[in-house]
Chains A and B, each alone.
Chain A
């Protein structure tokens, strides 16, 4: 039977309310802790974004080893460094605030409109054009161009929207690059199995895949910080899924319908088939074998390539050619210090030693037909020159 005793009741009520109040206090305390964690992580993200903005503004002066940066003098530290990844520049930014750390890595490109839509070295041959559209300022030998007459009927007019200036007798040298070397403590394979899948984060050391024989890349997935190096040649099929990787080989053949976003470095031949789609940032580079009779960088029909196409011949065009076929759209830059057979279209700029137009019957020096060069819009493009002070650097891809 329940006894009438107010003191007991009071004690029971006190205990119950004690439990209730302490649980409320506990929940409040827990809630504050969560708020603090969120607040600190928000602050850390802001510091990191701020540090990236700062790094992009001073991109040319950033070192290849980590340097410390304090954005707001309030115990937050950022470690910044840049690294070459083939022909591209990669920015690493690690921000530390209290016990938390955030890491971000991105590919940096120069987001700007190039000064010139076309630069043709002064080789004493005037440029002749037929049915060409050029939007943007151009530099041509003697600041002039002629009409290219092929037949009596088919002579389309040319449209040039921009200034025509005199070009110089020398082309600027393209940015030097160091091909990554196989280091002892990095992983490497000497063969690739069918259906292999390799993913490597950019925080890690690169994975080297060194192939000793002629190799076909098909039915595989390789993404991230990986370098595929072949001693002889590599053939890439559309069933290969490749992203952010570097391919180095004397001969590289990309088969029709391949899609990806990667960098190719060839020493002898780089042949791209038809309907190939390479997303930004992609690089096709042939650094030409000086002892070889002819080195070729060739891009087929109906391709869509975003990034840079570079033919860097140290003998300045004596033993190399670049060919870009009909209906191919390049968004970015073309650098060719040799002869360029150009029949495609470009949103960006072309820097070349000379053009050659081949209609199957005859070859014309410094001639162009049915092409469009449009440099009116700002695009993300690879950095061709060393230490570009002008322009606006931007992260175009987070890794």
Chain B
């Protein structure tokens, strides 16, 4: 298993001027680890991370779009896997933070925890490249190649959930960040 903070630190080292979508705890942590105007944290409704990512990938085919999704979030919109695969944007990377819990909602287990095969679902939906990464060493070794593949790419990262701590996510959803994101898109 990959410790949550290790996963984000390793990933952050491999990011360029990519559009990165993250949710809840990952959004708050990524703000500190990788402050960047192309961070996109205003997904709004749980379950829509991949949909926002798809819109950005279609709207900016010149930019790599990386969605750091939650397993509970993806369960809310499993059909989005099929929608993404149908559109098949080459610049779309879907990283699943597979920690088995609703991290921001009390740490309750997701249905099907440790049984549901997210890689199998992504493969069956039609993602071009599918990976499962279970250790920090493997993540360090493989993530660069994963991010460089032609999309849509899916990778399930096996994350150690750790404790669920109540946090304030309001800073990740500030209007200023959305304005900054829009401006950055127009100038890059």
A binds B: no
B contact set with A: CB distance below 8 Å: none
A contact set with B: CB distance below 8 Å: none
